[in-house]
């Protein structure tokens, strides 16, 4: 049994640089200039799962990403880990997409690249953390899907048994291929790249596709195709004066209450109907 597997990854700002990230008030987008990007951490778990399946059953692993041109670095890293080929969906028309427009674009890209037995993703991105794209992508592809998968095995060539992590339990499911699984971090430990892997990656195929290459409805992509958008954004002033309160805990509490009341806040006032 050989599997044709697609892994969708996202290029995200390196979490170690989060304190330097700013938001453009006018465009309401993250300003990424000077901020290095990496493969979304849990997407590496999805890639590792795909590579393990390839090692067990044979087949091909294709990595797909929707991002600006600079994301080729992340795709080459994915191929250095062992992916066979990669595709970058990149076009100014894709910019400003919410999760729905992003998932639609990814789905059209996957349809362009071929038929896949299995699509793997991480559960959520480190920057947005909406956890919406995997399910939306599967719906566009019209295939069954599971989210937060911590373990899965093949029962037959067309059937998977999967364990899904829930709040206080683990759900067990049977799912038919083709399917999409959004995997959790605990499913595996991603492998490191090697010098040989990096050398081999440069010889592998990286395809760049724009809006004209993947047969998209232009009303469903980018900011135009996004039914959700950012509201007003304001940057709070950090110039407020701090004041140290000195004394015993009781004295400090008394001082704090006095200052709250002076500011028009009565901490002792009961909320109507709360019974406290």
Q: Among candidates 169, 194, 188, 165, which has minimal Cα distance to 80?
A: 194
Taking residues 71-85, report their average pLDDT: 97
Q: Which tens digit of pLDDT belongs to each residue from 119-131?
A: 999 999 998 899 9
CA 166/CA 172 separation, integer angstroms: 10
DSSP 247: S
Query: Using omega within 30 degrees of 0 as the cis cutoff, is the peptide bond preceding 178 cis?
Result: yes
| Residue 232: pLDDT band with limits 50, 70, 90 | confident
pLDDT of residue 186: 96
This prediction's pTM: 0.83
- pLDDT of 35 reads 87
Instruction: Give residue 238's pLDDT band: very low, low, confident or very high (50, 70, 90).
Output: low
| DSSP SS3 for 78 | helix
Do the Cβ atoms of 138 and 180 come closer than 8 Å? Answer: yes
* pLDDT over 90, % of the chain: 75
The average pLDDT across 235-250 equals 82
- In whole angstroms, give the CA distance from residue 90 to residue 212: 11
The number of beta carbons lying within 10 Å of the beta carbon of residue 20 is: 11
Higher pLDDT, 156 or 18: 156
Q: Is the pLDDT of residue 209 over 90?
A: yes
Q: How sure is the predictor about 67, in pLDDT bands with cuts at 50, 70 and 90?
A: very high
d(CA 142, CA 4): 17
- What pLDDT sits at residue 242? 79
pLDDT value of residue 112: 97
Model confidence at 19, in pLDDT bands (50, 70, 90)? confident
**Which regions of the chain does DSSP assign to beta strands (E)?**
3-8, 11-13, 22-24, 29-31, 37-39, 59-66, 85-89, 118-122, 145-156, 159-165, 170-176, 179-183, 205-209
Cite the residue boundaries of each domain of the chain with CATH code 3.40.50.620.
3-220
- pLDDT, averaged across the chain: 91
- State the pLDDT at residue 26: 76
Does 64 score more than 90 pLDDT?
A: yes
The hierarchical CATH code for the domain 3-220 is 3.40.50.620
* Angstrom distances, CA of residue 53 to CA of 21, 60, 66, 166, 182: 37, 10, 24, 24, 15
pLDDT confidence of residue 270 = 53
Question: Is residue 274 over pLDDT 60?
Answer: no
Tell me how far apart the alpha carbons of residues 90 and 9 are, in angstroms, rounded to a whole number.
14
* pLDDT value of position 271: 55
Strand order in the sheet with 179-183: 170-176, 159-165, 145-156, 179-183, 118-122, 3-8, 59-66, 85-89, 205-209
């Amino acid at each position: 049994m050989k599997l044709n597997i697609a892994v969708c990854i996202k290029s995200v700002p390196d979490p170690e640089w989060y304190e330097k990230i700013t938001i453009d008030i006018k465009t309401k987008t993250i300003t990424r200039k000077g901020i290095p990007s990496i493969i979304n951490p849990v997407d590496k778990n999805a890639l590792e799962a795909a590579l393990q399946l390839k090692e067990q059953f044979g087949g091909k692993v294709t990595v797909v990403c929707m991002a600006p041109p600079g994301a080729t670095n992340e795709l080459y890293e994915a191929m250095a880990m062992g992916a066979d080929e990669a595709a970058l969906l990149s076009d100014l028309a894709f910019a400003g997409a919410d999760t729905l427009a992003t998932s639609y674009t990814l789905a059209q890209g996957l349809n362009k690249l071929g038929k896949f037995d299995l699509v793997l993703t991480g559960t959520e991105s480190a920057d947005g953390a909406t956890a919406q794209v995997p399910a939306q992508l599967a719906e566009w592809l019209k295939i069954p899907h599971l989210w937060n998968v911590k373990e899965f095995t093949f029962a037959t060539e067309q059937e998977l048994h999967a364990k899904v992590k829930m709040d206080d339990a683990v759900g067990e499911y049977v799912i038919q291929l083709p399917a999409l699984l959004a995997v959790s971090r605990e499913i595996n430990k991603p492998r490191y790249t090697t010098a040989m892997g990096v050398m081999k990656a440069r010889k592998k195929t990286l395809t760049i596709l724009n809006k004209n290459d993947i047969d998209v409805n232009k009303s469903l992509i980018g900011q135009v195709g996004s039914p959700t958008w950012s509201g007003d954004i304001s940057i709070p002033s950090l110039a407020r004066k701090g004041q140290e309160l000195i004394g015993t805990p009781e004295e400090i509490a008394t001082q704090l209450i006095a200052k709250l009341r002076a500011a028009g806040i009565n901490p002792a006032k009961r909320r109507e109907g709360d019974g406290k």
